[in-house]
């Protein structure tokens, strides 16, 4: 199977780069999302942001809150830019996500919104735990050392 970057229809729409810095990612999961036509058209143009959004389990359903999809100007019937959007996930996964958030104190953080190889909008969410400031400093130091190490190895070769 071809990698995601090799497929012609795969296109990243929005990415939450800050999530890997602010949270310790335990595992990630690909979910579907219910959208209106004008929302999909706006995503195809690339006007969205998931940096401040989060996912939550309410009444047995998974919802994406505070994500931004810009209004599509040519749409006859528009949409609300910051509406709650329902995420599609199997019931077994839903139970596991609910368990992680309610009992273990984890958070559901969106990482990437993209069009998959079939042209459907998918969202990759992660079960994550918030990092403290000292954890962030440690990960910064680790990343800096890896960068320095690669520079040293490059110059000595």
List Cα–Cα distances, 39 to 67, 118, 127, in angstroms: 12, 18, 26
The 10s digit of each residue's pLDDT in 98-148 is 888 887 778 899 999 999 988 899 999 999 888 777 777 888 788 888 888
Q: Which residues contact 138 (CB under 8 A, 6 or more apart)?
A: none
Structural domains for the chain:
11-130 (2.40.280.10)
Distance CA 69, CA 24 (A): 26
Phi-psi region of 111 (alpha: psi -120 to 50; beta: other; left: phi over 0): alpha
The 10s digit of each residue's pLDDT in 43-86 is 888 888 888 888 888 888 899 999 888 888 777 777 777 889 89
The confidence score (pLDDT) of residue 137 equals 83
> Nearest to residue 122, comparing CAs of 17, 21, 4?
4
Cβ(123)–Cβ(33) under 8 Å?
A: yes
Structure tokens at 84: 């709650």
- pLDDT of 1 strictly over 60: no
pLDDT bracket for residue 4 (50, 70, 90)? low
Query: Model pTM?
Result: 0.76
The 10s digit of each residue's pLDDT in 16-30 is 888 888 888 888 899
How would you write the chain as a 3-class SS string?
A: CCCCCCCCCCEEEEECCCHHHHEEEEEEEEEEECCCHHHHHHHHHCCEECCCCEEEEECCEEEEECCEECCCCCCCCCCCCCCCEEEECCHHHHHHHHHHHHCCCCEEEEEEEEECCCCCEEEEEEEEEECCHHHHHHHHHHHHHHHHHHHHHHHHC
């Amino acid at each position: 199977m071809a990698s995601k970057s090799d497929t012609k229809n795969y296109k990243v729409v929005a990415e939450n780069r800050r999530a890997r810095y602010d949270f310790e990612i335990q595992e990630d999961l690909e979910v579907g999302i219910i959208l209106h036509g004008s929302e999909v058209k706006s995503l195809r143009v690339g006007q969205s942001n998931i940096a401040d959004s989060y996912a939550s389990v309410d009444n047995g359903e998974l919802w994406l809150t505070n994500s931004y999809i810009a209004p599509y100007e040519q749409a006859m019937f528009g949409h609300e830019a910051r509406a709650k959007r329902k995420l599609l996930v199997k019931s077994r996964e839903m139970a596991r996500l609910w368990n992680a958030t309610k009992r273990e104190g984890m958070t559901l953080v969106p990482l990437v919104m993209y069009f998959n190889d079939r042209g459907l909008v998918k969202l990759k969410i992660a079960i994550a735990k918030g990092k403290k400031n000292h954890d962030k400093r440690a990960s910064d130091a680790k990343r800096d050392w890896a960068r320095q190490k690669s520079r040293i190895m490059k110059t000595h070769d």
